[in-house]
Amino acid sequence: MELIDQFLRKINYLRISVTDRCDLRCVYCMKEHMDFLPKHEVLTLEEIERLCDNFISLGVNKIRITGGEPLVRKDITKLINKLNLKKQNTGLKEITLTTNGTLLSKYAKTLKENGIDRINVSLDTINEEKYNKITRFGKLQNVLDGINEAIKNNIKIKINTVVFKNFNEIELTDLINWCNNKNIDLTFIEVMPMDETDMPRNMQFVPLDKTFEKLNKIYKLDKSKYKTGGPAQYYASDCLNIKLGFITPLTNNFCSNCNRVRISSTGKLFMCLGQNDYVDFRDIIRSDRGDAYIKEKIKFALSIKPKRHDFLINSEIKPYIKRHMNVTGG
């Protein structure tokens, strides 16, 4: 079984935000004061599992658990354990996680035992003070400890770094060297205009085509065929052991190769990160409708998956996306 959208793109990748809550408040992701959802609005772990079952039986073979911060969700490892068992008798091949890493030292071993072999850790700087500033109150050491614990447990780590104007632009080579010493691939991400934050988006955004040019002069980057299932374009260099990825939703659109959809923690299926349309599954899942109906709705959602996002950042306009990144995860 394959899920094909209206533009004939094969969709085999589901990202699920298991909570909108987070133990950090990264300035480009959230406002300082956020209203989080009451518990009854958030899907239970059983409801998430049922949605996953339907997607898997329609051809999804990769699931990413995200948030908010997925590791703050109580009993999240129980869901991961149940999903992991499905690899034995369904088409599901991989479960991965995107995390800020603050709780990784506590969870790394359990995650590995439950089939998580690769984790994306979001880390925008390796400077303690700057880390504290960008996350509003985070402690860098917690993340570093988490990364070390994950490596100790044979989990492959990739670092994701949002490049933020006048903040980490000038220290990207430090991050590259740090990752290179630890043998961890690194991906740079453009700020996306996901709703408003406390600072206008145009004061945050760095076009990564320009960053690429600068880094290319230093590292002589060679385009790589390496893929991890996401939108990053990877590059190798004779000066580096690691690959450098670039996620460029604004300066180099990648929507023609989109293979994924996202479910929010309340059960809204967003067919495109950069559009507002969604199909709501929570009421369906909480009614006495059966799985056949859920599958029909999933197919319908795919039939209206937008062709592309239209992200635009300038000082004149406010973001047209009316949700922050923690609603759907990265």
Which residue lies nearer to ligand SAM by CB, 134 or 301? 134
Max Cα separation, the chain? 60
Closest CA to 202 of 53, 318, 302, 35: 318
Beta bridge partners of 244: 186, 235
β 222-223/185-190 pair status: unpaired
Chain residues 99-118 in contact with ligand SAM, contact rule CB under 6 A: 99-100
Give me 235's structure tokens. 């590059």
Task: Select the binding partner of residue 25 from ligand SF4, ligand SAM, none (C-beta < 5 to 8 A, by kind).
Answer: ligand SF4
Rule CB under 6 A: choose which of 143, 159, 184, 192 binds ligand SAM. Answer: 192
Rule CB under 6 A: choose which of 3, 63, 67, 305 binds ligand SAM. Answer: 67
Give me 183's structure tokens. 């043998």
Give me 269's structure tokens. 């299926």
Task: Select the binding partner of residue 260 from ligand SF4, ligand SAM, none (C-beta < 5 to 8 A, by kind).
Answer: none
- DSSP character for 16? E
Q: How far is the CB of 210 from ligand SAM (least distance, A)?
A: 17
3-state helix, strand, coil in the chain (%, to 5): 35, 20, 45
Q: How far is the CB of 219 from ligand SF4 (least distance, A)?
A: 27
Task: Select the binding partner of residue 191 from ligand SAM, ligand SF4, none (C-beta < 5 to 8 A, by kind).
Answer: ligand SAM
Q: CA-to-CA distance for 157 and 177, rounded, in angstroms?
A: 15
Task: Select the binding partner of residue 56 from ligand SAM, ligand SF4, none (C-beta < 5 to 8 A, by kind).
Answer: none
Rule CB under 6 A: choose which of 16, 18, 27, 29 binds ligand SAM. Answer: 29
What is the 3-state secondary structure of 263-284? ECCCCEEECCCCCCCEEECHHH
Does the footprint of ligand SAM cover residue 265 (CB under 6 A)? no
Task: Select the binding partner of residue 108 from ligand SAM, ligand SF4, none (C-beta < 5 to 8 A, by kind).
Answer: none
Q: CA-to-CA distance for 158 and 329, rounded, in angstroms?
A: 16
3-class DSSP assignment, residue 227: coil
Does the footprint of ligand SAM cover residue 263 (CB under 6 A)? no
Q: Which of these segments, 94-102, 132-140, 214-222, 286-294, binds ligand SAM (CB under 6 A)?
A: 94-102
Query: Are 146 and 105 a contacting pair, CB within 8 Å?
Result: yes
Q: How far is the CB of 121 from ligand SAM (least distance, A)?
A: 7
Which residue lies nearer to ligand SF4 by CB, 96 or 237? 96
Does the footprint of ligand SAM cover residue 162 (CB under 6 A)? yes
Give me 109's structure tokens. 């071993």
- DSSP character for 90? S
Closest CA to 212 of 201, 223, 226: 223
Q: How far is the CB of 59 from ligand SF4 (least distance, A)?
A: 28
Interacting residues with ligand SF4 (CB under 6 A): 22, 24-26, 29-30, 67-69, 100, 122, 325-326
Task: Select the binding partner of residue 211 from ligand SF4, ligand SAM, none (C-beta < 5 to 8 A, by kind).
Answer: none
Give me 118's structure tokens. 């690769």
Query: Are 10 and 26 a contacting pair, CB within 8 Å?
Result: no
Give the residues lining the site for ligand SAM (CB under 6 A): 22, 28-29, 66-67, 69, 98-100, 122, 160, 162, 189, 191-192, 194, 325-326, 329-330
